[in-house]
Structure 1
Amino acid sequence: MQKLIYYVANSLHGFITRVHKDINKLIPNMVGITK
């Protein structure tokens, strides 16, 4: 059971990190478009 929780938490962390990087790329583009 603990391995499952660890796996899910790890996957979630990787997913959040990827999304965060994408957002960091998107925001400057959006700011550039609106200016």
Structure 2
Amino acid sequence: MKSSNSEEIVVRMRRSSQQSLQFSLSFGSSFAYL
């Protein structure tokens, strides 16, 4: 149970980190154009 729970947390963290990376990249590119 604990191992599976920790794996879920890791997957969620990875997903959130990927989303934040994409957002920062898009924001940085749009800001650079400005």
Structure 1-normalised TM-score?
0.80
Partners of 2:29 and 2:3 lie apart in 1 by 40
CA drift of 1:32 comes to 1.3
Residue identity over aligned pairs, in percent, reads: 0
Alignment: residue pair count:
33
RMSD (Å), alpha carbons: 0.7
Q: Does 1:31 align with 2:18?
A: no
TM-score (norm 2): 0.82
- In 2, the alpha carbon distance for the partners of 1:28 and 1:10 equals 27
In 2, Cα distance between the equivalents of 1:22 and 1:7? 23
Task: Give the structure 2 partner of residue 2 of structure 1.
Answer: 3
1:20 alignment partner in structure 2: 21
Gaps of 5+ in 1: none
